[in-house]
Amino acid sequence: MSSEKKHLAIDFHVHVDERVKYQHIPSVLRSRGLDGAGLLAHNDFAFAKKVTEMFKAKDKEKIYLAGVEVDTADGHIIAYGINEEIPPNRPSEETIELISDLGGVSIIPHPFMSHNSVGWKAYTLKADAMEFYNGFAKIFLNFPNIMAKVAFKHNGFSEVGGSDAHHVHAIGTCYSIVEIDGEATEEKVLEALRNQKTQPRKKPIDQHDIANFFKIIFTPKEGRKVVRFFDYF
């Protein structure tokens, strides 16, 4: 049995929903040189799980993780390694505790992206990981990412990067290097997220980041009218 160390490139923040052309994800992973992706939907684990299972069945070469980006009372929290919906709008500490009780891994994404982020409260949260490079934050001269690093570098979070891609070609603009032993499995990736075996990476800003920015700001929140204006991206 080999226990050779391997480094995987994984984007832990890839959105899938009806407005994302997620069918292209396997080919984008290849063109971007990534080994896998964490697939998320806002408050809808079932949808992310459905898409993930579809890719897992068809594409055995890459790692696909199903997760959810849940709205808490304090801001977004990402969960992986769970197998059920995480109820939204609870206090962030309760949400993180629930994820842990379910055997999952919690990530604090983009801690300083204004209204949808936990901000300084992250000091008190026992999440497994924090996103130090977020693709959307790159648009703001990377400032929210720099603030996250300055504020939380020494708080024991595993450090990850994720593109926050709502636009399929933005996958991999930020990603993580994940250290594992031997054969790549989903469980080993989750273990790495628990044990600080991850490092964030980001690519220089490009047109995919800009397209993603517009896609995010023009994507309506649940319950609002759908704006289809930016579908051609």
Q: CB under 5 A: which stretch of 20-28, 55-63, 161-169, 208-216 binds Zn ion?
A: 161-169
**What does the alpha-carbon distance between residue 177 and residue 185 come to, in Å, rounded to a whole number?**
15
* DSSP assigned state of 24: G
Residue 228, φ and ψ in degrees, nearest 5:
-100, 10
Minimum Å gap between C-beta 187 and Zn ion is 24
Minimum Å gap between C-beta 108 and Zn ion is 10
Nearer to Zn ion by C-beta: 47 or 188? Answer: 47
Minimum Å gap between C-beta 13 and Zn ion is 6
For residue 171, which of 218, 209, 210, 226 has the smallest C-alpha distance? 209
Number of residues in the chain: 233
Question: Cβ of 100: how many Cβ atoms within 10 Å?
Answer: 18
When binding is defined by CB under 5 A, the residue of 19, 32, 76, 197 that contacts Zn ion is: 76
For Zn ion, how many residues bind (rule: CB under 5 A)? Answer: 4
Binding mask 107-146 for Zn ion (x = CB under 5 A): --x-------------------------------------
Minimum Å gap between C-beta 69 and Zn ion is 5
Degrees, nearest 5: CA angle 50-54-56: 115
Give the CB-nearest residue to Zn ion.
Answer: 76
Q: CB under 5 A: which stretch of 27-35, 63-71, 171-179, 185-193 binds Zn ion?
A: 63-71
- Is 164 a binding residue for Zn ion by CB under 5 A? The answer is yes
Q: Outline where DSSP puts E strands in the chain.
A: 5-15, 36-42, 63-71, 76-80, 105-108, 129-134, 158-162, 174-181, 198-202
**What does the alpha-carbon distance between residue 168 and residue 111 come to, in Å, rounded to a whole number?**
23
The amino acid at residue 129 is A
Tokens 């992973």 found at? 29
Minimum Å gap between C-beta 22 and Zn ion is 14
Nearer to Zn ion by C-beta: 128 or 164? Answer: 164
The amino acid at residue 163 is S
Q: Outline where DSSP puts E strands in 55-173.
A: 63-71, 76-80, 105-108, 129-134, 158-162
Minimum Å gap between C-beta 222 and Zn ion is 14
- Is 215 a binding residue for Zn ion by CB under 5 A? The answer is no
Q: CB under 5 A: which stretch of 83-91, 160-168, 176-184, 193-201 binds Zn ion?
A: 160-168
Minimum Å gap between C-beta 113 and Zn ion is 7
Nearer to Zn ion by C-beta: 158 or 163? Answer: 163
Q: Which stretches of the chain bind Zn ion, using CB under 5 A?
A: 69, 76, 109, 164
